[in-house]
Structure 1
Amino acid sequence: MVRFAALLPLAALIACAPVPGVDAGGSASTGGALFVANKFGNSLSKIDLASGREVARVDSCANPHELATSPDDAHVALACYGGTSVDLFRTSDLARVKRIELGENARPHGIVWHPNGDIYASAEGRKSIFWIRNPMADDAETFEFGTGKDGTHMLAVSPDARHAWTVDMGSKTVTLVDLLTRRAPRSVEVGEEPEGIDLAPDGETLWVSARGSDMAFALDPQTLEVRHEVATGDFPLRLAIRPQGDVAVTSNLADGSLTVIDLATAKPLRTIAVSSRAEAEDRQQVTIVWSDDGSRVYAAETGSDTIAEVDYASGRVLRRLATGDGGDGLAIVD
């Protein structure tokens, strides 16, 4: 039986031409910080983007994965995929300030720190997602919504926080969850092993990448009808929409590339070679994140313990930033 209920509140126990609309100058990053979850090293890193140096690294939980920063950039939330909690750290010094337990076998993975101040996280081991209300407060509350699907992995949340969407790799589905009612979740099959997901800034189109299909799909967020299919590079694990809402990129692990998709036309624009196909197996490119101004893409290379900084306009890799063992989840404060 599919579970879908807000459970009792739990006190938190804690090679390319310039692209229209972007600067083609390719200037170096001037500030901000990149946060990296090092899944093999069980640690969290902070990289200063002005110098390109790792300025802090602290122990985290087991097998940390995705990251999300708070709306005020003061904290970063870490999904503890090897455990049962979401851990909160200060961005200034990486001091852990809170641990929010989600329950037995949670294995949280995807995470969103919404502009409304609440955190949403997938719990793969429980086939569910969690809504953590007022996460920094002493009386923070946690609510669970079942998907009933295997491999509930990454997620997206609507701008009004009424709905969330997950990709369920084991079930080959995308699931829509209504966060404000007890309406049953709706799921549809989308490609083979859907894993990447992002919602257009206007909330009108849901984009999903299916790594087993080498495809990206544009879906109606409410009906989950597939509107468009777009061929990508090989094994697109992640999909991230540029903050300006004009393009998305997929992170293609097997060939080390990024596929740039024009969201208005739902067609591929170009391919950015972050590494060669021969290098891809060793580098293991996974998570991607955009700078807020859309001028940079950062791609985690888990196998080589590096983060590639890519100039979007030119497609050039500007530098590779060293991180801890198995850098994967990324978050940025510009």
Structure 2
Amino acid sequence: MKNLLKSVLPIAILVVPLFASFGSAAPFAYIANQNSNSVSVVDLGSNQVTDIVDVETGPFGIAVDSSGTYIYIANSTDGSVSVYDPSETYPGYLVSVGQYPVAVELNPKQTCAYVVNYSSNDVSVLNLDTYTVSATFAVGKSPADIVVNPYDTRVYVSNTIDNTISVIDTATQTSITDIAVGQFPVGLAINETGKTLYVANRNDGTISIINTDSNLVETTISVGQTPMGIALSSDGSRLYVGNDGSETISVIDTTTKKLLLDIHVENNGHIGITPGGTHIIATDSKNDTISVIDTLTHLVIATIAVSDTPIGFGSFITPYTEDIKIKSLSMDIAGTVAANTPVRVSVNAIGPSEIYYRFRYIAGFGTEDYESNTSVVMQNWTTKNYCDFVFLAADNYMVLVEALADPKNPPTPIPIIGTNIKVE
């Protein structure tokens, strides 16, 4: 076992930039064992527990960074967050936060972590460079979960007693509005565009689907009894809901917004999904196990013993990106580009022998319209590592290039690099 002890000196941290990412080849699940004050490290390739990490009291929510390098663990009873580096044997960092922290979520740039404090009705903002709490903002009563939109402009927090979702402006860290949902909202998930928010309402057995442009509930779907955790497939087409009371996992078609089926498996409502969306991980606190469920067959393919009262809450599974690393992006024209002038964008990546690339752009970079603008695909998943862009109008454009080994089974997150092009 490895012990995470208190420290007063910062340790080195690798922050993977938003527009240049890579990942580990081996997916791992980090399972908080609430009553044994530990975290089980599960290799999802072999379905074996490879390590048990001792943490502070009452571990609950967990977040893994985009490179799988650092693990952030909310210790509910201790009022702290443990920082764990799986590659090191020396103690990690421990940061005091609010009262009874239950969830941790990293922002897209991996510069801060938002920690939900259930008993103090607030959220601590943890600076990942200094490992200090840089700010605290109030939310509703007894908050449970948190998600950040892909643009890092909005944070959404479920308030269980108020039956609301707090919408927070990340720039000012102030409330924009509260959205009324069902009874005792817990788990949250947001799609890759940031336009749709899903909420699990524990006490009335429903899912609220919220349009984040209007901040209104568009649809409510009935699921099983006592839904708690929810997870989106990598392509966003399926929503999985862990139902504690009925010991099922509901599968929802996000296009039709209809319940497709219920998978019967013992679980405590806490679930996660593996990169590529191939397997669901469900924790079972009655039997102190986790179940690995195939999303194609809906069958349990493995049951793994962990420790006392396992909780799978948050982004507790490491990313898997086929060992691809994007090293650089270049253009054949430097500086400002004239409209209607061809620009060749090339990318340098290392990894498998065959790498597929997608080239796209978004107009209006640096403006308020940027979030709502449509991404235009110029070249869709070919092995050609360059693309000729022609911009017809003057604007600031964000050019994005993604890389993966198998377009039919995309990892989470997909390695990406980007650059800004000014066209006059």
Give the structure-2-normalised TM-score: 0.66
| Cα distance in 1 between the residues matched to 2:209 and 2:60 | 25
| Cα distance in 1 between the residues matched to 2:95 and 2:234 | 29
AA of the residue aligned to 1:51? S
> Match for residue 184 of structure 1?
175
| Cα distance in 2 between the residues matched to 1:108 and 1:239 | 19
AA of the residue aligned to 1:39? Q
| Cα distance in 2 between the residues matched to 1:186 and 1:82 | 30
> Match for residue 243 of structure 1?
234
Gap change, CA 1:116 and 1:316, over 3 Å in 2: same
AA of the residue aligned to 2:113? I
Bigger drift between 93-102 and 196-205 goes to 93-102
AA of the residue aligned to 1:186? T
The answer to whether the 8 A contact 2:34-2:308 is kept is yes
Which stretches in structure 2 are left out of the alignment for 5+ residues? 1-7, 11-24, 321-424
CA deviation profile, 1:62-111 (whole Å, cap 9, x unmatched): 111011111211111001111221110012357541112224xx211111
Residue 141 of structure 1: CA displacement?
Answer: 5.0
Gap change, CA 1:101 and 1:222, over 3 Å in 2: farther
AA of the residue aligned to 1:126? S
Does structure 1 residue 266 correspond to structure 2 residue 257?
Answer: yes
Gap change, CA 1:31 and 1:179, over 3 Å in 2: closer
> Match for residue 369 of structure 2?
none
Which stretches in structure 1 are left out of the alignment for 5+ residues? 1-11, 15-29, 276-283
The answer to whether the 8 A contact 1:296-1:309 is kept is yes
265, 289, 303: which one aligns with 2:286: 303
Does structure 1 residue 115 correspond to structure 2 residue 108?
Answer: yes
| Cα distance in 2 between the residues matched to 1:315 and 1:285 | 18
SS of 1:324's partner is coil
> Match for residue 73 of structure 1?
68
| Cα distance in 1 between the residues matched to 2:302 and 2:89 | 24
> Match for residue 317 of structure 2?
332
Gap change, CA 1:45 and 1:95, over 3 Å in 2: farther
33, 39, 52: which one aligns with 1:57: 52
AA of the residue aligned to 2:237? D
269, 289, 298: which one aligns with 1:286: 269
**Superposition RMSD in Å:** 2.0
Matches within 5 A, 1:1-334: 31-92=26-87, 96-103=91-98, 106-117=99-110, 118-133=112-127, 135=128, 137-138=129-130, 140-147=132-139, 149-181=140-172, 183-275=174-266, 284-329=267-312, 331-333=316-318, 334=320
Gap change, CA 1:173 and 1:313, over 3 Å in 2: same
The answer to whether the 8 A contact 1:176-1:222 is kept is no
| Cα distance in 2 between the residues matched to 1:88 and 1:182 | 24
Residue 198 of structure 1: CA displacement?
Answer: 0.7
Gap change, CA 1:92 and 1:321, over 3 Å in 2: farther
| Cα distance in 2 between the residues matched to 1:298 and 1:178 | 32
| Cα distance in 1 between the residues matched to 2:295 and 2:229 | 17
The percentage of aligned residue pairs carrying the same residue is 21
* Structure showing greater relative contact order (alpha-carbon pairs closer than 8 Å, 6 or more residues apart): 1
Gap change, CA 1:57 and 1:94, over 3 Å in 2: farther
| Cα distance in 1 between the residues matched to 2:148 and 2:72 | 16
The answer to whether the 8 A contact 1:13-1:101 is kept is no
The answer to whether the 8 A contact 2:226-2:244 is kept is yes
| Cα distance in 2 between the residues matched to 1:293 and 1:262 | 17
Gap change, CA 1:222 and 1:151, over 3 Å in 2: farther
The answer to whether the 8 A contact 1:58-1:94 is kept is no
> Match for residue 281 of structure 1?
none
Residue 239 of structure 1: CA displacement?
Answer: 1.3
Residue 231 of structure 1: CA displacement?
Answer: 1.0
The answer to whether the 8 A contact 1:145-1:177 is kept is no
| Cα distance in 1 between the residues matched to 2:232 and 2:9 | 34
